[in-house]
């Protein structure tokens, strides 16, 4: 399962088919921006926190983000250890294949590609609805949400083909803008001593607060907010000194994401008051404007102008996430083409060393996932965004679990790294935590997607179905190759 040994076929002018991505393109901060963009910080805060507070553990929601961060950090130890020995744009499926075998790796490749395309399609739904609302608010013109989604797909395709550095610069602007607003709000609230009931540290972080209500639901949404940090390894081929850059970017990403969500959610609860936060979040959900739970206290503290800026930043936050997942998905397609699991044509790169054919295919997949919802007149937020977000989270958590298992098997077999903590203890603990998170996601999946049980069941079945199809396809491909030779 070593894609580094694959020999690329070079055809066409300018060696544009050379199957290698541009090396030395990204440093720690460049990779960090891609990861944080995939997180879509404002989307995570405005979308997940109100739900975690309202139907989870109330004021104890920030503790759930810390717990999720610990689980992901444990997972990251083994993930980074594997990354020192395997540098490939396929990341997950390459890692899993190294330890659990090529069929398992191929099946996980299908799950990874499905998850990234699903979450990007989900974001197109929320993005289209957000932009449509903004345009109508400021101009009075009513344009269907899917029109904005299609226009943005073209823009994302162009930016993705323009090179990884261009994408990093675009994302940096958007990420800094939304982070700045949220962090300024959180710091001002902190230095002011909190809201009407003070900072309320024990109300959010004490064991009793963390276990109040339904902590499993809050933990589920907290884990979902971590989605995308694993992109650090996907850019290994394009990183400067990947053996140093990728581990640093991974640990820094997990630390920044965990700290950001825990701190910002704590300050939001403090701004409302710990005793009132659950009720306020519930009212926001019932009104159909969950983001109001977040936007209202920020506007009250920083001024009314923020109320106009935040919806725009929500749109740019979603755009940044869409672009980040486009880059991740097309690198999976590129790597699968190089492995021979998909047509080799996917390894084509342009003059800027970007996988333009894989990017084009990924854009087509986005159209195929999004447009049925438009043609059927479905609500882009209640169906497209909610359904695909849920199934994507479930898929990625399965990949985390399989990767942890693969790390243990790989290092027990190869002895390439004999450090017990890095290659056995931390991965096992991470796998146990991730297994618990998967159980919580499955148990609460109907809540996560905001749909009915039948829809939830069909969506859950797609993840193992894709995994099995990938395994079967790999075995058939291997049998065909052996027969040919």
Task: Read off the pLDDT of residues 195-205 as tens digits, 9 standing for 90 and up.
Answer: 899 999 999 99
Question: What is the Cα–Cα distance from 18 to 356, expressed in whole angstroms?
Answer: 12
> Does 133 have pLDDT greater than 70?
yes
Residue with tokens 């099995």: 468
Q: Mean pLDDT across the stretch 114-133?
A: 90
Residue 439 pLDDT exceeds 70? yes
Choose the weakest-confidence range: 135-139, 191-195, 219-223, 364-368: 219-223
How far apart are alpha carbons 483 and 485 in whole angstroms? 5
- Look at residue 106 in the predicted model and tell me its pLDDT: 84
Give yes or no for residue 33 having a pLDDT over 80.
Answer: no
Among candidate residues 423, 29, 36, the one with its CA nearest the CA of residue 258 = 36
Q: What average pLDDT does range 119-141 have in this prediction? A: 90
For residue 254, pLDDT over 50 is answered with yes
User: What would the pLDDT profile of 359-414 be if each residue is shown by its tens digit?
Assistant: 889 999 999 999 999 999 998 988 898 889 889 889 988 999 999 999 999 999 88
pLDDT at position 197: 92
The Cβ of residue 271 has, within 10 Å, a number of other Cβ atoms equal to 25
The pLDDT confidence band at residue 153, using thresholds 50, 70 and 90, is: very high
Residue 175: per-residue pLDDT: 75
Q: Does residue 26 or residue 112 have the better pLDDT?
A: 112
| DSSP codes of every residue in 24-60 | T-B-HHHHHHHHHHHH-HHHHHHHHHHHHIIIIIGGG
Contact 117, 98 (CB under 8 A): no
- Report residue 11's pLDDT band, with 50, 70 and 90 as the boundaries: very low
What pLDDT score does 1 carry?
37
370 vs 127, 322, 330, CA distance in Å? 12, 13, 17
Residue 305's pLDDT band, with cuts at 50, 70 and 90, is: confident
Q: Stretch 29-49: mean pLDDT, rounded?
A: 74
Residues 112, 463: Cα–Cα separation, whole Å? 10
Angstrom distances, CA of residue 397 to CA of 84, 197, 437: 22, 37, 8
* Mean pLDDT, rounded, for 193-221: 88
Position with higher pLDDT, 228 vs 92: 92
Enter the tokens of residue 290.
């969950």
Q: How far apart, in whole angstroms, are the C-alpha atoms of residue 448 and residue 222?
A: 12
Is the separation of the CB atoms in 236 and 88 below 8 Å?
Answer: yes
Sign of the CA dihedral with 406 first, then 408, 413, and 415 last: positive
Kindly state the average pLDDT of the residues 263-278: 95
Greater confidence (413 vs 288) lies with 413
For residue 373, how far is the Cα from the chain centroid?
A: 22
What is the rounded average pLDDT for all residues in the chain?
Answer: 82
| Whether pLDDT at 97 is above 70 | yes
pLDDT cut 70: percent of the chain above it? 83
Query: 109, 98 in Cβ contact below 8 A?
Result: no
Residue whose C-alpha is closest to residue 359's, from 351, 369, 349: 349
Helix axes 61-83, 426-443, angle to 10 degrees: 130
Q: Please state the rounded mean pLDDT for residues 64-76.
A: 91
DSSP 311-362: HHHHHHHHHHHHHHHHHHHHHHHHHHHHHTSS-GGGG---TTS--HHHHHHH
Predicted confidence (pLDDT) at residue 212 exceeds the cutoff of 90:
no
Average pLDDT (97-121) is: 88
The reported pLDDT for the residue numbered 339 is 74
Identify which has the larger pLDDT, 222 or 166: 222
pLDDT at 131 over 80: yes
**Which range among 253-262, 350-359, 390-399 shows the weakest confidence by mean pLDDT?**
350-359
Mean pLDDT, rounded, for 268-278 = 94
């Amino acid at each position: 399962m070593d894609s580094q040994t694959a020999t690329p076929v070079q055809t066409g002018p300018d060696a544009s088919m050379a199957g290698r991505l541009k090396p030395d393109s990204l440093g720690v901060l460049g990779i960090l921006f891609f990861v944080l963009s995939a997180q879509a910080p404002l989307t995570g805060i405005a979308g997940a926190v109100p739900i975690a507070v309202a139907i989870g553990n109330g004021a104890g929601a920030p503790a759930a983000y810390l717990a999720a961060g610990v689980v992901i950090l444990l997972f990251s130890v083994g993930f980074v250890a594997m990354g020192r020995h395997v540098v490939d744009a396929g990341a997950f499926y390459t890692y899993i294949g190294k330890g659990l075998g090529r069929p398992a790796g191929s099946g996980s490749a299908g799950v990874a590609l499905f998850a990234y395309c699903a979450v990007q399609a989900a974001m197109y739904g929320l993005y289209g609805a957000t932009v449509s609302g903004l345009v109508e608010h400021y101009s009075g013109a009513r344009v269907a949400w899917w029109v904005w989604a299609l226009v943005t797909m073209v823009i994302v395709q162009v930016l993705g083909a323009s090179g990884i550095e261009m994408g990093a610069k675009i994302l940096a602007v958007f990420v800094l803008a939304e982070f700045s607003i949220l962090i300024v709000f959180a710091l001002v609230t902190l230095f002011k001593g909190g809201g009407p009931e003070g900072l309320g540290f024990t109300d959010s972080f004490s064991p009793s607060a963390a276990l109040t209500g339904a902590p499993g639901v809050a933990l589920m949404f907290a884990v979902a907010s971590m989605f995308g940090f694993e992109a650090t390894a996907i850019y290994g081929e394009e990183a400067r000194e990947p053996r140093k850059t990728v581990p640093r970017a991974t640990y820094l990403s997990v630390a920044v994401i965990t700290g950001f969500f825990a701190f910002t959610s704590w300050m939001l609860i403090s701004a409302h008051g710990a005793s009132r936060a659950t009720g306020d979040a519930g009212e926001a959900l019932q009104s159909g404007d969950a983001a109001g739970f977040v936007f209202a206290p920020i506007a009250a503290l920083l001024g009314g102008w923020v109320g106009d800026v935040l919806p725009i930043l929500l749109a740019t936050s979603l755009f940044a996430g869409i672009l980040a997942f486009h880059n991740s998905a097309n690198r999976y397609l590129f790597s699968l083409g190089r492995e021979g699991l998909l047509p080799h044509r996917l390894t084509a790169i342009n003059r800027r060393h970007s996988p333009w054919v894989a990017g084009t295919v990924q854009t087509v997949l986005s159209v195929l996932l999004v447009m049925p919802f438009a043609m059927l007149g479905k609500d882009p937020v209640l169906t497209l965004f909610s359904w695909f977000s849920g199934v994507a989270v479930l898929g990625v958590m399965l990949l985390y679990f399989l990767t942890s298992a693969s790390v243990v098997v790989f290092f027990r077999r190869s002895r390439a790294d004999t450090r017990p903590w890095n290659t056995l203890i931390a991965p096992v603990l991470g796998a146990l935590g991730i297994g618990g998170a998967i159980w919580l996601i499955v148990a609460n999946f109907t809540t996560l997607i905001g749909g009915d049980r039948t829809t939830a069941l069909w969506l859950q079945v797609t993840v193992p179905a894709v995994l099995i199809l990938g395994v079967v396809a790999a075995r058939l491909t291997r049998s065909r190759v052996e027969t040919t030779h």
